[in-house]
A and B are shown apart, each in its own frame.
Chain A
Amino acid sequence: MKLTHISKIFFPNSLKEVKALVDINLTFEDGEFTTLSGESGSGKTTLLNIIGGLERPTSGSVFIDELELTALSDKQMADYRLRHIGFVFQAYNLISVLTVRENIGFIMKLLRYDEAKINKRIDELSGILQIEDILDKLPGQISGGQQQRVAVARAVASRPKLILADEPTANLDSKNGERLMKMLRSLNEKEHVTVIFASHDRYVLEQSKRIIVLEDGAVIEDR
């Protein structure tokens, strides 16, 4: 994945104008386990959103395997997200009326996987993420840590190329945060999925293979 000259300006030409990203050029290889780091307002979430096709840059392009993501229509972009990107949000964001099992299988259902394949994958992931006992519960009936693990399961269930996780440990205590990172790391190694975080959590940074530090919308460090 290649990002070329990405800039993002919110409320352009107004008093509220904010330059969130300034001429970002980055390349991500398959199977990376990378964290976008930086202080609040540094632009890491905005960059993550642009990589995930949730937001369009003011200028610049995102290429994934020769496909220019930024040139796609909203509908094509939604389809691309469905097929190739898994999201883990800070606030878990599960579908409240679906059980844990249904939440995990939701994207696979949209992709028309057959029922047996969906169930097999749910069983496999629930084992890895240790959520076998809560599969028939609704999101409102489980803890925050469990909800975040379900969100991870939903994100990886259809084996997307890329997982984008925005502050996935922010609402978790340190024990649950570490546990989640270990699981994501294990999924990254076992399933060779590319994972990009936006986080300033020390433990997330320790676990990352690559850290990109942003400040005032620009990359100041890439190690």
Chain B
Amino acid sequence: MYKIAFDLAWKSLIRRKTRTLMVIMMIALSLSGLLFLQGLYDGMVSHMINTSIRSDSGEISLYAKQYRLEKTIDYHIDDPRAIKAYLHQSKEIDAYAIRLSGEGLVATAHKSLGATLKGVRLEDERRFGDFDTFLFQGKFDFGPKKQEALIGFKLAEKLKVTTGNRLVFTAQDASGEINAISFRISGIIKSGNLAVDEGSVFVSIETMEQFLALPNSATQIALRIKDKSQVNSIQSMLQKKFSTLDVLRWDELYPLLIEMRDMMDIFNWLSYAIVFAVAALGIFGVILMSILERMREFSIMMAIGTPYKNIRYQVISEAFIMAIAGYIIGAILGLGFLVYTASSGIDLRYYQAGLESFGLNAILYADIRYHYFFQAFASVFFATSLSILWPLHVLKKIKPIEIIQGKML
């Protein structure tokens, strides 16, 4: 029975090529669009998360208690050497960066703005998050006398400075004295992390220790974890070990990113629902039409004794053969789009200013995840099942003779 129904469904599809191809292409194009959108949205969010992790927080960061609330060097980590020694021998930690930051005023001859001066070791930052790849202009270096600085590109724009220009940074040191230090800009950083690009100046940590009168101190120790799935357990373990410090995950440090990810998920689902509804309506319409236009044929089949079950299997087989073919073509097309977009990206430099204001790169890269394809398969399966319910209901209700009677009476 199944074989006959499948055979009939197959012949019906093969011998009505235009209709079959139309449905398959409709499913395939909708599906590839879905996959592409999903990958692109995820890629945008991943990019933001990734740049924040690479340029600042790592997967986990250690701070002195209260530092995150007060943002003052009164709450700093004293003598981080013991922590450094532990991190150095820890198998779970891939890289770490020790930073000493202070809030203050950065000024040129014409303008001054609030900013964060971050004392870092460039080699550590390179290992930590390929920080050198964020260099947008100039050189990745603090100069032979450690009197040069890297500056976020947005801050540079606001201050109207470029490489080679001088800056003066004024801040309160550990003793409460107001100190000022002058730097020449060696390079401009464009990380995609708004906090870095809009408000950070990077200098050598040794210079910073002297400037703040805080030798052998840190305000943040950021960690890169080898196995990302272990972040929570490592956080708990570190919190126990360094109970006098705050041990925070990247998502606790960047709650806005999580909100943005959730918002993107909503956009993602909305787009998914719209494209899915369009695809489902399309499949529904074409399958319903294909059944309605063959109502006479089905009636004749029933009249000569073909069981309804057989016709139901035929309709189901037709719909699912088209759905599976559409899925395979759509998945291949979608994968193609995703692979291309993941490697070459979509160049939106025309909208660069707008995108960068959201912390997005002007070239958007897509993510590729296995679950897209399972999700897409489930969607096609669901849409196809929905699409055939009504036509099957219509078929079950027909009285063959009423359809044929038009000719018979």
Contact between B308 and A95, CB atoms less than 8 A apart? no
Contact between A49 and B408, CB atoms less than 8 A apart? yes
A78–B16 Cα distance when bound, in Å, is 28
Q: Is A96 an interface residue (CB 8 A)?
A: yes
Residues of B within 8 A of A167 (CB): 408
Contacts A89-B408, A110-B4 known; A97 to B12 CB distance under 8 Å?
yes
Across the interface, B404 reaches (CB within 8 A) one of A41, A93, A96, A138, namely A93
Contact between A82 and B400, CB atoms less than 8 A apart? no
Contact between B15 and A138, CB atoms less than 8 A apart? yes
Contacts A93-B300, A97-B15, A97-B16 known; A78 to B407 CB distance under 8 Å?
no
Chain A positions 53 through 90: 1 when the CB is less than 8 Å from some CB of chain B, otherwise 0: 01100000000000000000001001111110111011
Chain B interface size, as a band, is 20 to 34
A81–B301 Cα distance when bound, in Å, is 11
Across the interface, A95 reaches (CB within 8 A) one of B16, B301, B408, namely B301
Contacts A89-B408, A91-B407, A96-B297 known; A81 to B11 CB distance under 8 Å?
no
> Closest CB-CB distance, B394 to chain A, in whole Å?
16
Residues of A within 8 A of B404 (CB): 54, 89, 93
Contact between A110 and B305, CB atoms less than 8 A apart? yes
Q: Which residues of chain B from 298 to 312 have a CB within 8 Å of any chain A CB?
A: 300-308, 310
Contacts A55-B401, A97-B12 known; A90 to B306 CB distance under 8 Å?
no
Residues of A within 8 A of B15 (CB): 97, 138
Residues of A within 8 A of B405 (CB): 45
> Closest CB-CB distance, A173 to chain B, in whole Å?
18
Contact between B11 and A98, CB atoms less than 8 A apart? yes
Residue of A nearest to B401 (CB): A54
Residue of A nearest to B400 (CB): A54
Chain B positions 384 through 409: 1 when the CB is less than 8 Å from some CB of chain A, otherwise 0: 00000000000000001100110111
Q: Which residues of chain A from 131 to 158 have a CB within 8 Å of any chain B CB?
A: 138, 154-155
Across the interface, A87 reaches (CB within 8 A) one of B4, B11, B12, B303, namely B303
Chain A positions 88 through 132: 1 when the CB is less than 8 Å from some CB of chain B, otherwise 0: 011101011110001000110110000000000000000000000
* A residues at B contact (CB < 8 Å): 40-41, 45-46, 49, 54-55, 75, 78-83, 85-87, 89-91, 93, 95-98, 102, 106-107, 109-110, 138, 154-155, 166-167
The 10 closest A-B pairs by CB, nearest first: A82-B305, A81-B305, A93-B300, A54-B401, A91-B407, A97-B15, A97-B12, A45-B408, A97-B11, A166-B408
